A and B are shown apart, each in its own frame.
Chain A
Amino acid sequence: MQEKQLEPEQAGYFSVPGAHLYTVTHVVKNPVARALLIGPFASERQNTYMPWVRWARYLAARRIEVLRYDYRGIGESTGNFEETSYANWSEDVPLLAEWLKNQSPDVPLVLHGLELGALLAGRAFHAGIGDALLLWAPPANANVALRSMLKRRVSLEQLFKSAGERKSPADFMRQLEDDRPVEVDGYQLSGMHWRDSFQFHLPEELNDDKSATSFYKKPVRILRLDKEIDPGVREGDTSDTDFNRIRPDLFKICSNNLRWHHTFKFYVEFKPYFNWLFADNFEWIASALALAPEEQ
């Protein structure tokens, strides 16, 4: 296959054992840092795609080269979702990180994960990969992420199905425990996904930023987005911060019922929130990696 001239955003396939991962590199000339973006899982991918791509572009515009990708068996990547395990998804992270790091080894590498991607990023970082770690909305383990998916499926059924046809989250969990697959937004969750999810957790050293930073001796930031963005949680906080300035807009949009997947699903409606989230996290990366102002 002939190499074409590089575009600023270069889509391609990256070979891993048994599959080809779809990747997009947001190419930067002389980058000051690189970031591997590890996105959310299964149906959350399609719901969060728009802000995720814009976050990558935001970083690239500030001279941080970004590699984002689709998990095996999801999105544009090949592979069989039902048969892919958390171990397989974990194996892909170091391969991608190594490729990205090798582009110019002197440039620092940030691992950044969202939701289940935060578990993958955290575990890779624990294994020694990356120079800084940024986690958004990490669940305690993969089971928490799966339960959340099932609950959202059930809430949709409440809207569109008659009482007789509806199932509860517990019904679906029992089904998975019995090794019978459950379909969520076109993805077949298998008994294996359910069983293994309890063991697939964040390393205990990553319980909070401070202890993690001290343990790894590298910068770590963990944003529990639900709490951070839920206006109710910070209602008493009236300090003049960027977040507090956009808080009334968030209230208007969805009152107290604000969770991270709501904001990520409705990028256009939540633009002020993303302006804040992107700027705040870029500032953290810049300060964590001690990027000189002229490098930003």
Chain B
Amino acid sequence: MIEAIKTRELITLQSSGPLLRATCHWPQQSDWGLQEGRKENVIGVLFLNAMSLPRCATGDSAVYWAESFAACGYPAFRIDMAGLGDSDGDIPDDLLGVINSGEYAKPLPSVVKDLVKRFHLSGLVVVGHCAGTVSALFAAAASKDCKGLVLLDPFFHLPKMVRSKTRDDLAEWSSKSSFGGVARKVYNRLKVIRRHFHRNALPANANRSLLKEWGKIASGKMPILLFTAPGMDSPNTKRNEDDFDYIEHILKLAGPRNEVRVQSIAGTDHSFANRMGRAAVREHVERWLGTRFPLTRPESGMAKSKAATDHMITDKNHAQCL
């Protein structure tokens, strides 16, 4: 067994908590990570788990993206957080609750610092997907080495309170009877009117501490690329006309001179793992990285590397970096 192949290396990270495992994707040859003095001004990309998925993500999409970004000159790291994937530790019974409180992201600033120091990087762009966006935001707020964020379908709310049985029965009745349908429309209309008079009021289940961190980061001009998916499984899809528009809200919080870019990807779902979704995310992130964090090393520019050639086996259309 070997720990490194061509452009990939398996590493462990020991912060204050359990031993964490990660895969590194190097831009060119396998010893890239070991060579010092070549990486000034090179930014790395760190992928976090999406909720409880292992570090490959759905359909190995994170492997695809990491390999692609590395082929463009940006070393990429996919990490399993404590209790997930191959990392040590156990996960709490209420994982989502712990993530939403920011508690789960607490070891991340030291992980980021460790990677930056160990591989002589100028910083890291942290990529989060779904619940991973929550940890990415909390980590970015607490780490000066985090230089940018890529957020895939983030959410800024806590799970809704469990509804009473009476309310469930009413909802069922309104969906089945014609009179109930009229009553539902009236009820929704009243909610819209109420919201009109309380325009800036956040829903009761908004994750206020997360929004506070967002405001701090985004108004501080950190480059942020935010993706939304169009499907009904996306947390940003409005199911009712009175649903709170978190994207509009966070853009307001970011202030007028923010560095936030919102990109909607068509033809995919919340996982972004299908061909269209993964290719679109790759293209947008590569362009964004090239603009916000241009590489200064001529040899690692946007040329197609051996890694890219190797990776083409998983996507023949992925011919070269943009």
Contact = CB atoms under 8 A, between A and B. Distances in A.
Contact of B59 (A9, A78, A186): A186
B106 to A, nearest CB: 20
A50 B53 CA distance: 8
B36 interface: no
Contact of A23 (B1, B4, B54, B310): B1
A7 B59 contact: no
Interface string A1-26: 10010010111111100001001110
A52 to B, nearest CB: 10
Interface string B167-209: 0000000000000000000000000000000000000000000
Interface string B57-81: 1111101000000000000000000
Given A185-B58, A186-B61, 16 more contacts: A1-B2, A1-B4, A4-B3, A7-B12, A11-B3, A12-B1, A12-B10, A13-B10, A20-B5, A25-B1, A76-B56, A76-B63, A79-B313, A80-B314, A83-B313, A186-B59
B59 A185 contact: yes
Given A46-B54, A75-B56, A1 B3 contact: yes
A75 B54 contact: yes
Tier of interface size on chain A: 35 or more
Contacts of B313: 79-80, 83
Interface majority SS (helix, strand, loop, mixed), chain A: mixed
Contacts of B53: 46, 49
B59 A159 contact: no
B54 A183 contact: no
B135 interface: no
B95 A268 contact: yes
Contact of B60 (A9, A23, A186): A186
Contacts of A46: 53-54, 56-59
A161 B232 contact: yes
Nearest to A186: B59
B305 to A, nearest CB: 15
Given A80-B314, A268-B93, A13 B232 contact: no
A81 B95 contact: no
A78 B5 contact: yes
A43 interface: yes
A50 B56 contact: no
A188 B274 CA distance: 9
A53 interface: yes
A75 B60 contact: yes
Interface string A35-54: 00000000100100110010
Contacts of A116: none
A49 B1 contact: no
Contact of B1 (A10, A80, A83, A185): A10
Nearest to A73: B314
Contacts, number: 95
A73 B95 CA distance: 30
A89 interface: no
Interface string B226-268: 0000011100000000000000000000000000000000000
Tier of interface size on chain B: 35 or more
A284 B209 CA distance: 50
B52 interface: yes
A270 B52 CA distance: 15
A11 B86 contact: yes
Given A4-B3, A185-B273, A268-B95, A74 B60 contact: yes
A198 interface: no
Given A1-B3, A186-B59, A49 B85 contact: yes
A187 B59 contact: yes
Most buried by B among A43, A50, A186: A186
Contacts of A185: 58-59, 271, 273
B91 to A, nearest CB: 7
Contacts of A10: 1
Interface in A52-92: 53, 73-76, 78-83
B275 interface: yes
Contacts of A183: 59, 274-275
Given A14-B1, A186-B59, A268 B91 contact: yes
A161 B313 CA distance: 31
Contacts of A25: 1
B216 interface: no
Q: Which 6 A-B pairs have the closest CB atoms?
A: A186-B59, A12-B1, A186-B273, A80-B313, A160-B232, A160-B233
Contacts of B59: 43, 46, 183, 185-187
Given A186-B59, A268-B91, A53 B86 contact: yes
A186 B274 contact: yes
B2 A13 contact: yes
